[in-house]
Amino acid sequence: MNTINNTSHKYKNIIDIIEKNKKFLMKELKNESKSTYNFSYPYLLNYFDRIKKDSTSQWLICGSSMVYSWMPTILNFNFEQGRIDHATNSLKEIKKLVNNKPFDFNRPELPLLLNPIVTVINNSIVGVSKFLHFSYPEIFPIWDSRVERAFSGKPNNYHQVKSIKNYIQYSKSIHKVVDEKKNDWIANELFNDSNNNLSPIRKIESMLFLLGKNTNKQK
């Protein structure tokens, strides 16, 4: 299985793709402001802010059920004996890592912590990325086939989208873009005042999502 393995190259690609398509993005972002995703986004953030203070199993089960309203598939939990406990233990460890700032995507245990959660939540890193994003919007970006298409610049590959390693690599690249370009065009040029509540992570991912529906825009 091929994995994305050049963070520097990919993060520069993200910047180039967005800067080359500013006019397209300005138009699309204006249209997207009326979408169901944008409407429901702050409500889901508020919900997660409350629920992650409850029991970890409540957070895991109810939270993942909520984010699947943003998914085209039905959620199927893998609740075989021990699976839920394993996933909640992993989620507790991720919470510790988040609280121990700054969060480091290079930690070798991260793939091992994500895997049990992916196993429980539909065996989908896409679903887990949404769950983690709404739990920690400043840290975890959303990942799906359209984002992957924009990020890689290639037609979708099922194995690429399903790869935990690729999600981690993508997350590192997104954070590198934020570090490189914060308070520049990300916040001030492409998003209006009504979007100021969005994290830089969410803004970049939103732009990739829009670019991913039209691969011709990435040349």
**pLDDT tens, residue by residue, 177-201:** 888 876 565 556 677 655 667 888 9
Which residue is listed with tokens 């949404």?
130
Q: Judge whether 1 lies within some domain.
A: no
Amino acid at site 165: K
Specify if 172 maps to a domain.
yes
Q: Domain span at residue 104?
A: 7-218
Q: Examine the pLDDT at 24 and tell me if it is beyond 60.
A: yes
63 within some domain: yes
pTM over 0.75: yes
Residue 138 pLDDT > 80, yes or no?
yes
3-state SS string over the chain?
A: CCCCCCHHHHHHHHHHHHHHCHHHHHHHHHHHCCCHHHHHHHHHHHHHHHHCCCCHHHHHHHHHHHHHHHCCCCCCECCCCCHHHHHHHHHHHHHHHHHCCCCCCCCCCHHHHHHHHHHHECCCHHHHHHHHHHHCCCCCCCCCHHHHHHHHCCCCCHHHHHCHHHHHHHHHHHHHHHHHHCCCHHHHCCCCHHHCCCCHHHHHHHHHHHHCCCHHHHC
User: Residue 67 has which token pair?
Assistant: 């984010």
Q: Which of 64-68, 83-87, 189-193 has the lowest mean pLDDT?
A: 189-193
Across the range 22-50, mean pLDDT stands at: 88
* N residues, the chain: 219
3 residue type, one letter: T
Please count the structural domains in the chain: 1
Q: pLDDT digit string (tens) for 88-129?
A: 999 999 999 999 888 999 999 999 999 999 999 999 999 999
Q: How does the average pLDDT of the chain come out, rounded?
A: 86
C-beta separation of 212 from 160 below 8 A: no
Tell whether the model's pLDDT for residue 85 goes beyond 60: yes
Q: Does residue 2 form part of some domain?
A: no
In this structure, how many other beta carbons lie within 10 angstroms of the beta carbon of residue 85? 13
Distance CA 61, CA 72 (A): 18
What are the structure tokens assigned to 27, written together? 């138009």
Q: How much is the average pLDDT of 46-62?
A: 94
